[in-house]
Amino acid sequence: MRYGSVCSGIEAATVAWRHLGWECAFVSEIDPFASSVLKERFPSVPNLGDFTKIGKGDYEGEIDLLVGGTPCQSYSYAGLRGGIADPRGSLAIEFVRLAERTDVRWLAWENVVGVLTSGGGRDFAAFLSALAGWDVQPPRDGWRNAGVVTNAPGRFGVSWRVLDAQYTRVPEFPGAVPQRRRRVILVGCRGDWESAAEVLLGDELCGGFDPPRREARLRTAPDDGAGLEERASEECFPIDMMNIEGRTSCLRTKCYDEAGAAMYTLRSSHVGAVCTPHDLRRLMPVESERLMGFPEGWTDVPWKGGRAPGGYRHRALGNSMCVNVMAWIGERIDAVEKENFDGRQQT
C-alpha cells in the first residue's frame, strides 16, 4: 500500500504503519515546528505543504490511500463552532477533493466528536455527501457514534466510528495508551461501502467497555533528558488543567481524578498535569509522547539553533493523532484489502 498524508502534524500514521511495510509517498504540513519534526524523522519524504494545492503530478507514482486529520477547531466544543463555513472547517471538503484528484481507493480521516453535532448535524452530512456522491441528510435524532453510508457509482462508501485511545489495543500497544481521547474515525473505500464497513465495524473489534487495568504509578523524566527515572507511587491523580486554570468553567469534568486513571485528553493549548504524594507538576514532553504512543524523544529535534522547547513539543503532540489508534486502522485496512485481493485472484 502506498499512501499520502495531509495535515500530517508529526506523522502518527507513518509511525503506526511502519510494520505493515507501507510506503509514504508524501506528507503535507505547513506548521513550522511540525515540519521540522517531519524533516528530521522522514528526510527522504517530500513535504508538499498546503494540501489544497497538491496535484497528481506533484509526487512520484500513484497512491492507494489518503490519510489526514483536518483542523478540528471549528467543530470542537471548546471553540466557536463555526463548522464547515469556517475556512478551517471547510478543509474537510478539500480533503475529499484531493482524494478525487489523486484517485485513491482508500481514505482515512480523523476529527473531534463535535463534528457529529456541528451545524445541527448538517456539517457532517455535507462531508458525507461529498464523499458518497449523493445528498445525505442528517437523521432526525442525530448522528450515532458509528454508521455506514453507501456510495454512488465510482464514489466512496464510508463508515465511521468513535474510538477512544484508552480502549484501542493492538499488538504494539496491548494495554492501549493511558489517555482519554475520543475521536471520530472515518474510513472510505471507492465503490465499496461493504469494505469500508468491514474495516471499522467488522469481526475484529477493538477495545471494550472497560479500560485496561493500570497500577497507580508515575514515570518521570528529568528536564535535561539525560535519562529516565521510574518511581512507584500509591497514588497518582491526573489533573484537568483546562478546568483548574479556570478558562473553561462550563466543562463538567473533575479537576482531580482517581488514582491510576487515564490522563485527560492532551490539548495543544496547554499542558496536562499530575498530582502525586510528592508534588503537583505539569507533564514533561516525553510523557506526552508516551501518552500519544510515539517513541520517546520523537519531538526532541533541532529548532532555531538549539533543541525544541517543551511548549512546541506539547502543542505538536496535542494536535496529533494517537499512534495506537492509527495502527489499528491500518491493520484493519490491510486485512480487508488482502482479503479482497485474494477474492479477486480466485475469481
| Residues acting as catalytic residues | 72
Q: For residues 158 and 184, give the distance between their C-alpha atoms in angstroms, rounded to a whole number.
A: 13
Say how far residue 298 (Cα) sits from the centre of its chain: 16
CA-wise closest residue to 319 among 284, 292, 282: 292
For the beta carbon of residue 28, count every other beta carbon within 10 angstroms.
25
Say if CB 303 and CB 33 are below 8 A apart: yes
Burial, 128: exposed, middle or buried (Cβ in 10 Å; 0-12, 13-18, 19+)? buried
> Which of 336, 341, 285, 301 is closest to 157 using CA atoms?
336
Q: What is the CA radius of gyration of the chain?
A: 20
Best CA proximity match to 290, nearest among 175, 171, 213, 207: 175
Q: Coil, strand or helix: which one is 221? A: coil
SS3 of residue 34 by DSSP: helix
- Extract the C-alpha cell encoding 323: 499512534
d(CA 155, CA 157) in angstroms, rounded, equals 7
Count how many residues are written for the chain.
347
* Cα gap 159→202, rounded to integer Å: 11
- Per DSSP, the three-state class of 223 is coil
CB-based burial label for 335 (10 Å; 0-12, 13-18, 19+): middle
Place of cell 464547515: 84
